Amino acid sequence: MLHVTAETLEPVQLASRKCALASHLDDGPHVTAETSRRIACDASIFRLVTVYLLDGGELLLFIETNYRSSPDKRIVFGHSLGGQFVLYSAQTEPGLFWGHIASNPALHRNLPLFLDMRPETPLSLTHVFVGDASEDDTRFLEPRTRWIEHWTGKSDLPWALHTETLEGHNHFSAPPASFRRGIRWLFADELDTPGQ
């Protein structure tokens, strides 16, 4: 858990005032104001998505009302921490999105949660694609490999699961390859249809 003062999270020009900027992790080191703001931004995005997508769907309604979209083919894509959110969504609210594309999901801090979490009602119309960069840092690669082995070893999966090793890719080069391969897998039937 990150402990941070409100002043630390203010924009840089405001935070430069002479006030105590304090931020530290539980039982851990102090964290710079810049890192605290970045972490808070990630947390805010997660909270925004949780509030608007999982509690009422106002954001989805806004998007589907104002933009060309197909509610029965919603797809969510995320990389690293965003990839973790994609898996969280698939494992807690699988019907929210038809397709989930997780690029190098960062599971190094909470793998046990992602090994135990399972939706109560499996939906056969939900699809999960995981792109796995072969040259990723070991601290990310090992937990992701354990997640893949855990779920691909199950016969009663709560979703259609497909994983691909992205040979030659690292943590930073993987997103475009994950996105392309995930989309190809999700729409394989339509892409293989003559005249499409």
CATH code, domain with 124: 3.40.50.1820
Q: State whether residue 4 is helix, strand or coil.
A: strand
In order along its 196 residues, the chain shows pLDDT tens digits of 555 565 565 555 444 444 445 665 655 667 676 666 555 544 444 444 444 445 556 777 777 888 888 888 889 999 998 999 999 989 888 888 899 999 999 999 899 999 998 877 655 678 999 999 999 999 999 999 999 999 998 888 888 999 999 999 999 899 999 999 999 999 998 876 555 4
Evaluate whether 33 touches 72 at the Cβ level (below 8 Å): no
Q: Domain total for the chain? A: 2
CB contact at 8 A, 131 and 102: yes
Instruction: Report whether 110 contacts 142 (CB < 8 A).
Output: no
Residues 19 and 103 reside in one and the same domain: no
Q: Return the pLDDT at 89.
A: 87
Same domain, 41 and 79: no
| pTM assigned to the model | 0.71
Taking alpha carbons only, the member of 152, 109, 154 closest to residue 129 is 152
Last residue of a domain, one of 36, 67, 98: 67
Q: d(Cα 76, Cα 79) in Å, to the nearest integer?
A: 10
Which domain, by its residues, includes 10? 1-67
Indicate if 143 and 93 belong to the same structural domain: yes
152 and 165 belong to one structural domain: yes
CB atoms within 10 A of CB 98: 18
Phi, psi at 80, each rounded to 5°: 60, -115
Domain match, 82 and 37 both: no
State CA 43 to chain mean position distance: 12
* Rounded alpha-carbon distances, angstroms, from residue 130 to 2, 8, 77, 154: 28, 35, 10, 16
Asked if residue 81 and residue 24 are part of one domain, the reply reads: no
Distance CA 74, CA 192 (A): 21
- Which residues sit opposite 30 in a β-bridge? 24
Domain boundary among 46, 67, 88: 67
* Burial group, residue 123, by CB count within 10 angstroms (0-12, 13-18, 19+): middle
Determine the pLDDT at residue 1: 54
> What is the C-alpha separation between 97 and 125, in angstroms, rounded?
9
In this structure, which amino acid lies at residue 151?
W
Residues 62 and 122 in one domain: no
Please check whether residues 59 and 82 belong to one and the same domain.
no
Query: Which of 67, 84, 107 is where one domain is finished?
Result: 67
Residue keyed to tokens 């990389």: 79
In three-state secondary structure terms, 164 is: strand
Q: How many CB atoms lie within 10 A of CB 161?
A: 17
